[in-house]
């Protein structure tokens, strides 16, 4: 791809229409991503569609860019470490299932990374659009049930007056919606959306659902990721009109948020629920709370190179680790724990580089990396290592990196050919 006709300000380059086998794969890929908003059943519809999509994609053939080999290697080492830690517990029912789920998610990551590294513009646009459509539909369904519209309350999951939609847990529901909120906000502020008012309405629906999930992690992740996307867009754009538009919209957003908070706090019910959620919960506190358990587990893990084994932290402490970083050492041993730290560290490096280094893929990174970084921060206080969309985000970031490296090499060849 030549740089002629491209500027870093373009949000999304026009992609040619998919034809032939590529079109067949995309027909299943879009629902595979969109159906991620349904997780109350296992296997979920998204899992079934992902398996079908991977099969069709595999039949059509593919190539693996060299830039993906290190991260694929790290994930395979992480998986291998988990199977080593599992060895003494094969006869138990749950640990093997846990590790097989881990294997499936690693395969899912590899698929997303390779798939999105080729024909990147068309596939990434489809991926983000499908994710947003699914999220908006999931939020609308959750809100309708929460408000008991059309008699849907009995068909939706409401957990202690908190929206869960088609998820088992409102915390997971809220966190899932973060990337959709960032993408829809980007569509609104860019001014290049074909239907800006529709994007704004959808952003409002997703934001309302996140608020009513009463998930502290989701609130923080949404605020952080939207702010990071906003700041990165403002810093990297050279379009003065866009910067002025962003400033005006920031002021408007502050006004709307203030009004929304005033409305929420005017209700005694929501005020009480909000106050209960802002403070630490009962299971957070004390030596035997989730944070106390994490601290108490560290000396024990220092004496156990293979950790406790998959799903065995709960047998020692009566609770899940509630930290993907502690769980990496507890369930995957030292090898898996340090490999997870390498995965996170290397992804942070390329994520920030994609956000701020000029390339045709920077605008996609402005959506995906803030959302993934927010999930990685959440990983310190909740288990994210089996959240499917996190592996989608990992795959998307590394797919963008492979596409950027390919584009950079083509630019260099084009430059050398001129002299």
CA distance 156 to 165: 6
Measuring CA to CA, which residue among 370, 375, 385, 369 is closest to residue 174? 375
CA distance 146 to 140: 10
Contacts of 157 (CB under 8 A, 6+ apart): 40, 145, 164, 165, 166, 167, 168
**Least confident among 26-30, 253-257, 364-368, 380-384:** 253-257
CA distance 327 to 321: 6
State residue 39's pLDDT score: 85
CA distance 321 to 382: 8
CA distance 84 to 78: 10
CA distance 220 to 123: 29
State residue 102's pLDDT score: 95
- Residue 343 · residue 79 · CB < 8 Å: no
Average pLDDT over residues 87-106: 93
Measuring CA to CA, which residue among 71, 64, 72, 66 is closest to residue 118? 64
Average pLDDT over residues 152-181: 82
State residue 30's pLDDT score: 95
CA distance 256 to 250: 10
CA distance 355 to 233: 9
How far is the CA of 45 from the CAs of 48, 386, 413, in angstroms?
5, 16, 44
Cis peptide before 43 (omega within 30 of 0): yes
**Least confident among 30-39, 42-51, 98-107, 154-163:** 154-163
DSSP letters for 239-276: -HHHHHHHHHHHHHHHHHHHHHHHHHHTSHHHHHHHHH
State residue 283's pLDDT score: 55
Residue 264 has pLDDT above 80, yes or no: no
pTM of the model: 0.90
Contacts of 85 (CB under 8 A, 6+ apart): 306, 307, 309, 310, 331, 332, 333, 336
**Among all chains, which residue has been given the structure tokens 């294997």?**
103
- Helices 324-356 and 362-378: crossing angle in degrees, nearest 10, is 160
DSSP element (H, E) containing 163: strand 163-165
Distance of CA 222 to the CA centre of its chain: 11
Contacts of 254 (CB under 8 A, 6+ apart): none
First-to-final CA distance of the chain: 18
Confidence bin at 5 (pLDDT 50/70/90)? very low
DSSP element (H, E) containing 57: helix 45-60
CA distance 134 to 167: 13
What six digits make up the tokens of 285?
A: 């506190």
Average pLDDT over residues 80-105: 94
CA distance 8 to 11: 8
**Among all chains, which residue has been given the structure tokens 């506190």?**
285
Sort 73 into a burial class: Cβ within 10 Å, 0-12 / 13-18 / 19+: exposed
**Least confident among 178-187, 245-254, 317-326, 363-372:** 245-254
């Amino acid at each position: 791809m030549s740089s002629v006709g491209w500027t870093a300000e373009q949000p999304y380059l026009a992609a040619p229409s998919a034809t032939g086998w590529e079109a067949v794969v995309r027909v299943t890929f879009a629902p595979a991503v969109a159906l991620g908003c349904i997780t109350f059943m296992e296997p979920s519809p998204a899992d079934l569609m992902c398996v079908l999509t991977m099969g069709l994609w595999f039949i059509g053939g593919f190539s693996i860019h060299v830039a993906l080999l290190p991260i694929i290697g790290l994930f395979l080492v992480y998986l291998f470490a988990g199977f080593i830690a599992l060895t003494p517990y094969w006869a138990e029912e749950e640990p093997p299932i846990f590790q097989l789920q881990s294997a499936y998610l690693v395969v899912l990551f590899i698929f997303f990374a390779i798939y999105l590294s080729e024909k990147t513009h068309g596939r990434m646009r489809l991926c983000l659009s499908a994710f947003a459509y699914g999220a908006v539909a999931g939020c609308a369904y959750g809100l309708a049930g929460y408000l008991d519209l059309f008699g849907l309350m009995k068909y939706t999951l409401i957990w202690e007056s908190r929206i869960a939609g088609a998820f088992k847990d409102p915390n997971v529901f809220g966190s899932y919606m973060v990337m959709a909120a960032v993408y829809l906000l980007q569509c609104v502020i860019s001014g290049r959306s074909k239907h800006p008012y529709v994007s704004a309405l959808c952003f409002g629906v997703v934001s309302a659902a996140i608020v009513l999930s009463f998930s502290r992690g989701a609130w923080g992740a949404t605020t952080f990721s939207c702010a990071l996307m906003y700041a990165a867009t403002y810093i990297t754009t050279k379009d003065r009109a866009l910067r002025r538009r962003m400033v005006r919209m920031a002021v408007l957003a502050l006004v709307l948020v203030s009004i929304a908070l005033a409305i929420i706090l005017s209700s005694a019910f929501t005020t009480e629920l909000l106050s209960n959620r802002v403070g630490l919960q009962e299971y957070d506190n004390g030596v035997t709370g989730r944070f106390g358990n994490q601290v108490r587990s560290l000396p024990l893990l220092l004496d156990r190179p293979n950790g406790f084994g998959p799903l065995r932290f709960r047998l020692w402490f009566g609770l899940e680790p509630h930290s993907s970083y502690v769980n990496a050492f507890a369930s995957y041993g030292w090898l898996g724990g340090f490999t997870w730290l390498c995965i996170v560290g290397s992804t942070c490096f390329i994520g920030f580089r994609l956000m701020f280094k000029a390339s045709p893929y920077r605008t996609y990174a402005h959506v995906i990396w803030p959302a993934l970084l927010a999930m990685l921060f959440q990983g310190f206080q909740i288990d994210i290592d089996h959240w499917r969309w996190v592996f989608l985000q990992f795959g998307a970031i590394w797919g963008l990196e492979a596409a950027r490296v390919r584009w950079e090499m083509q630019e260099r060849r084009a430059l050398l050919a001129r002299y």
